[in-house]
């Protein structure tokens, strides 16, 4: 069973976003350079072809970036929900949120919390407005702790 620490939930960012933005900027510079060179020397058709290829790569990378940003926004909203839940549970158990670990990165109906006081199960009511926190005993748990 994998548990995620509070630090992992709050600091887990997708570093590929920065690499993709750098790639988009590089492709844009290459595209503009090749297109300007083609406009100056119209007799050299290979720069036209290279600018079309780099423009296509630029559009493809932009499409991937937009798709990734939409999924990142959704994941960020879900992470915000689970971190708020972790803070509430930490307050109820009188421990720091950094001392807690949860078995999911999104809120669902059956969350397990690993605390210094033991394991707790969080069970929401039918409409999700309230929850019950009860202590549980896990027999021979194989726990993997994922930290930032």
Convert the pLDDT of each residue in 85-122 to its tens digit: 888 888 989 999 889 888 887 777 778 898 888 899 98
H/E segment holding residue 131 = strand 131-136
User: Do 146 and 10 touch, CB atoms closer than 8 A?
Assistant: no
Convert the pLDDT of each residue in 15-62 to its tens digit: 667 778 888 899 999 999 998 988 898 888 888 888 899 999 999 988
Cβ count near 72 (within 10 Å): 14
CA–CA separation, 42 and 47 (whole Å): 9
Q: Which residue has the tokens 């492709």?
A: 27
pTM of the model: 0.61
């Amino acid at each position: 069973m994998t548990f995620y620490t509070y630090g992992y939930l709050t600091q887990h960012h997708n570093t590929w976003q920065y690499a993709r933005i750098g790639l988009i900027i590089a492709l844009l510079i290459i595209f503009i350079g090749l297109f300007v060179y083609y406009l100056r020397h119209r007799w050299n058709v290979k720069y036209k072809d290279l600018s079309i290829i780099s423009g296509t790569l630029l559009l493809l990378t932009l499409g991937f970036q937009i798709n990734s940003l939409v999924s990142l926004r959704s994941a960020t909203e879900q992470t915000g929900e689970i971190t708020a839940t972790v803070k509430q549970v930490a307050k109820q158990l009188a421990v720091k949120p950094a001392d807690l670990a949860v078995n999911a990165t999104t809120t669902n109906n059956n969350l397990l919390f690993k605390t210094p006081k033991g394991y707790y199960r969080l069970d929401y009511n039918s409409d999700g407005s309230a929850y019950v926190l009860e202590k549980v005993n896990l027999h021979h748990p194989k726990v993997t702790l994922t930290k930032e």
